[in-house]
Chain A
């Protein structure tokens, strides 16, 4: 294992200061991921540096930011895969989100947008809440009922999507329409639509997709699908929704 001296050029912003870039050089093993490099920058150089991280294995989606201009999960991106060995590695927050501090963006609107889609439980397995932990086969633990909060009547699950916000940052249309449901929102609508045959729910979901800030705002850059770390293929889902909407319009036109 060799050690690398990696210069990091990090976007800095604090509410009472103008944005700037700071450059820190950190020493990390050649097997390190970008999140390790930024951890080192925090530990060695500046503990006011803010960034998110949790799972370290691309399942929580919280650490997403831009590395050399491209949205990635730094927890699974090796330094050697993105650093040319010469120029500083540029780290910036996701686009199309308000910045809270340094690499941390405000994702609350993103989640509210999902909630506005009124997607109820989309996985049959989750319809049986409250569930027991015995289904997870935890060794030497007595099965017990998980108590859920009173207002926990519904939640979203998009299958595969880790809600990292990468697609929302990569999408150029998000810059044109702040209320655009976005690739993640529309992919979620597609998933929810495919889980139900209830005409009321279908009409509601397709109505959202067909709205002013729905699928027709997409201009087929396909950047969301390119950037998605989980193969959700949001652009493919948007096109599938369009196809269904078009088919329904044709059927209506010919009175079927």
Chain B
């Protein structure tokens, strides 16, 4: 007997081909969730620069104002918005609220994410 699961299970979480909107939400939540965990550790590494004194920190802050780092900030914010607002959809449906309208809920929350991200990106690049 061939266990097909072991061959393909790693790819299942992100396989959205021919799937519906809920699967896109599922995949997005996984990608953003993993990315945010990686960011958390990077953040702690960056904060550890404080241990090396004001010089090390100030030089990092100067670097963080470059367009490349500001773009990373926007990507980070996109991850937070998508994961947070999609998490709100999951929490609401988990309470039995909006179960029948979960697709509309996801669409609305992602539109809110896009608007918030656009506004935030404008502000970030105007710093």
Residues of B within 8 A of A223 (CB): 19-20, 22-23, 26
Chain A residues 226-244 with CB under 8 Å of chain B are 226, 235-236, 239-240, 242-243
Secondary structure call for the A interface:
loop
User: Do B4 and A236 have beta carbons less than 8 Å apart?
Assistant: no
User: Do A239 and B96 have beta carbons less than 8 Å apart?
Assistant: yes
CB A42 to nearest CB in B, in angstroms, measures 20
Q: How far is the CA of A240 from the CA of B15 in the complex (A)?
A: 27
What total of chain A residues lie within 8 Å of the partner, measured CB to CB?
Answer: 31
What total of chain B residues lie within 8 Å of the partner, measured CB to CB?
Answer: 30
Residues of A within 8 A of B20 (CB): 222-223, 226
Quick one: given A98-B2, A172-B12, A223-B20, are A246 and B90 in contact (CB under 8 Å)? no
Give the residue of B5, B15, B100 whose beta carbon is less than 8 angstroms from that of A98: B5
B81 within 8 A of A: no
Closest to A216 in B: B94
User: Do A219 and B1 have beta carbons less than 8 Å apart?
Assistant: no
Residues of B within 8 A of A70 (CB): 18-19
CB A34 to nearest CB in B, in angstroms, measures 15
User: Do A226 and B22 have beta carbons less than 8 Å apart?
Assistant: yes
Give the residue of A68, A69, A93, A172 whose beta carbon is less than 8 angstroms from that of B26: A172
Closest to B29 in A: A219
Residues of B within 8 A of A203 (CB): none
Which residues of B does A touch, CB under 8 Å? Answer: 1-5, 7-9, 12-13, 15, 17-20, 22-23, 25-26, 29, 89-90, 93-96, 99-100, 102-103
